[in-house]
Structure 1
């Protein structure tokens, strides 16, 4: 459990004295090595204010790579953990541009910060009055109200919700175990335009959802699923994978795209599709768009004779029926000294396999372990980057 902030803490942290004190505490290292001495210093200098000051600085540092402008935000550790990364929130805000939007679980306002740049009106609500006070500081342009997410307090707005994904201290994939429960949330806003953020591993089959499910990744990490009601979706689209990159263009794959791909021998390259594409069940659609095909119809690895632009791939040097002995011999032949090991469809632990390969060479290679039909197969490859 992190520090429990109070309204008095928020008032102090936003005062001139609080801002100056935050700056002073931020000048400390606050690392594992220095944490005790730095907290002692803060207690000596700021007394009872030390705890909220230290917690705020640590939360800001934790959020620095996740939330835009984190250095000036008021945050709690829990809020940082659940907050949507700024690029993902910005993507959703673009989808909802020009609308009146109400975030019914706004917490400290991470989502609101993106919405105020695209929506005509932004309302945020939460039951936690301390987080609402933080949101008022973080996003002064939003209209805030204390309210239960299951009791609508606006009309005609597009609703966003982000139910808490932990139950009893553990992450849950049961829609009914979220807070508020997802079925109750859908009932409360039945007939409204609604976007609900969820964990990518949630069992959507239990919902009977008739809108769109979008899986979003950022820099190769799957970040969230978002349920969009029919009024927020393009006609005919039920599944979408959105791939966001900090260093390249965004692209999307939907189930409206063609999914006809050939069945043939491996090409020159192997491609491991982005996790959003795999989670959304759109591997074949992505492959068809880029002239690729599957190594096996039940395995997500793709192959082809050319790489899609900006995609990391693995150029095949050798294909062999997998056994540790045969793979070890192949890697010795290719003078492999270090190996990246990718596994799908076979029961192999890369961490346990790597030392048993006894690599001795000076080349860095990639190994793709999978199966084609019922046969376990190893591909020795050079990575594109």
Structure 2
């Protein structure tokens, strides 16, 4: 659960004395092997503040994976877990540029920081006063306003304590990020989110709304007439976002947005063409980005890049070229899935390190690797899928 921060903790950590104490704490390793010794050392100097100092430094070290320039931010463990990665928050903010926005579940302010850069007026509200204090600190740090004190208005952002299910502003757009845990467990049931998604949608019926959701949410259980955008970052699907009809293009109900820390972003929608031919396997197999698959835009992606499907019900694509920046697997051999002939073929090709990818078949890659015992020296990739009703193996060169 992590350390339970108080408002007094936040005020101290955001002060000059707290900043100096955090710098001292950050010099310690704080690993499981040294934690007790490090805590004893800190208690001698900082007393009861030690636990808050240690937790903050450890959270800051974790935060660097998802948040840019957050080295001086404050967090709670739960809030950091749910915080939107900077690249994703920035992409969403750009879609809302120029509008007035109210984030009704603002938590520690990860979305507010990005919205403040492009929106003329931003409101952040939450029921948790500790998180609001943390958001005020993080906004000051991110915007260069270093004066102390909580709930201070930073440039164009106002913070307020408010219930997300009780509309309290006239902002043009409402943003919400319901918590995805119920009874201590992660949930994909819209009615068990906090606040419950159906209640949230009802509370802001008729208003422009953007709701961040887990990508595993069962979208078919939602009566949603707007757009569902699935977003990936560096190859990992990070979230889905529900956009009301007033915030999307006419006719668009699905969008895949692919972000990269080292390259340009791109997106596609179900308004794009999806006409593809039916042919046998080409020279390459391509596994589309997870955002494309989760958004149901595999055919659209194939049409854009001159590819086609191995099977109409399977997300693997094939073609004679590989789209730029995408990992492709060059087919060396194709066979029906039978373990004895497969083992012989692997031995004949001196296959050693073996990556096994599956889709549409009930096969455990680790268990299969143990059974077939590849002992050669040449790395290969096995792609096992279903073509029609036939489990099929493609032996591929490892990219």
Shorter-chain TM-score range: over 0.9
Matches within 5 A, 1:171-320: 171-320=186-335
Deviates more, 1:324-333 or 1:275-284: 324-333
- Secondary structure of the residue aligned to 1:136 is helix
* 1:361 lines up with 2:372 in the alignment: no
Cα deviation for residue 379 of structure 1 reads 0.5
Query: C-alpha separation between the residues in 1 aligned to 2:171 and 2:51?
Result: 42
Could you give the per-residue CA deviations for residues 96-134 of structure 1, whole angstroms, max 9, x where no partner exists? Answer: 111111110000101111111111111100010010001
Cα deviation for residue 347 of structure 1 reads 1.2
Deviates more, 1:272-281 or 1:244-253: 244-253
Could you give the per-residue CA deviations for residues 320-346 of structure 1, whole angstroms, max 9, x where no partner exists? Answer: 111111111111122111111000111
Query: C-alpha separation between the residues in 1 aligned to 2:107 and 2:117?
Result: 18
For this pair of structures, how many residues does the alignment match?
384
Report the counterpart of residue 66 of structure 1 in structure 2. Answer: 66
Could you give the per-residue CA deviations for residues 42-95 of structure 1, whole angstroms, max 9, x where no partner exists? Answer: 222211000111111111111111111221001111111000100000110111
Cα deviation for residue 317 of structure 1 reads 0.4
Report the counterpart of residue 154 of structure 1 in structure 2. Answer: 169
* 1:107 lines up with 2:107 in the alignment: yes
Report the counterpart of residue 150 of structure 2 in structure 1. Answer: none
Query: C-alpha separation between the residues in 2 aligned to 1:246 and 1:335?
Result: 37
Q: Is the 8 A contact 1:94 1:118 kept in 2?
A: yes
Could you give the per-residue CA deviations for residues 287-340 of structure 1, whole angstroms, max 9, x where no partner exists? Answer: 111011111111110000000011001000000111111111111122111111
Query: C-alpha separation between the residues in 1 aligned to 2:398 and 2:262?
Result: 19
Cα deviation for residue 383 of structure 1 reads 2.9
- Secondary structure of the residue aligned to 1:48 is helix
Report the counterpart of residue 328 of structure 1 in structure 2. Answer: 343
- Secondary structure of the residue aligned to 1:87 is helix
Report the counterpart of residue 40 of structure 2 in structure 1. Answer: 40
Report the counterpart of residue 28 of structure 1 in structure 2. Answer: 28
Q: Is the 8 A contact 2:127 2:163 kept in 1?
A: yes
Q: Is the 8 A contact 1:312 1:383 kept in 2?
A: no
Query: C-alpha separation between the residues in 2 aligned to 1:354 and 1:45?
Result: 54
Cα deviation for residue 167 of structure 1 reads 0.3
- Secondary structure of the residue aligned to 1:296 is coil
Query: C-alpha separation between the residues in 2 aligned to 1:245 and 1:357?
Result: 36
Report the counterpart of residue 57 of structure 1 in structure 2. Answer: 57
Query: C-alpha separation between the residues in 2 aligned to 1:357 and 1:32?
Result: 38
- Secondary structure of the residue aligned to 1:139 is helix
Q: TM-score if structure 1 supplies the norm length? A: 0.98
Cα deviation for residue 355 of structure 1 reads 2.2
Query: C-alpha separation between the residues in 1 aligned to 2:278 and 2:308?
Result: 7
Report the counterpart of residue 87 of structure 1 in structure 2. Answer: 87
Query: C-alpha separation between the residues in 2 aligned to 1:369 and 1:206?
Result: 31
TM superposition outliers: structure 1 runs of 4+ over 3 Å? none
Q: Is the 8 A contact 2:102 2:171 kept in 1?
A: no
Query: C-alpha separation between the residues in 2 aligned to 1:39 and 1:347?
Result: 49
Query: C-alpha separation between the residues in 2 aligned to 1:152 and 1:73?
Result: 29
- Secondary structure of the residue aligned to 2:117 is coil
Report the counterpart of residue 119 of structure 1 in structure 2. Answer: 119
- Secondary structure of the residue aligned to 1:71 is coil
Query: C-alpha separation between the residues in 1 aligned to 2:169 and 2:323?
Result: 45
2:180 equivalent among 155, 159, 165: 165
Structure 2: runs of 5 or more not aligned: 141-153
Report the counterpart of residue 146 of structure 2 in structure 1. Answer: none
- Secondary structure of the residue aligned to 1:173 is coil
- Secondary structure of the residue aligned to 2:118 is coil
Matches within 5 A, 1:370-385: 370-384=385-399
- Secondary structure of the residue aligned to 1:74 is coil
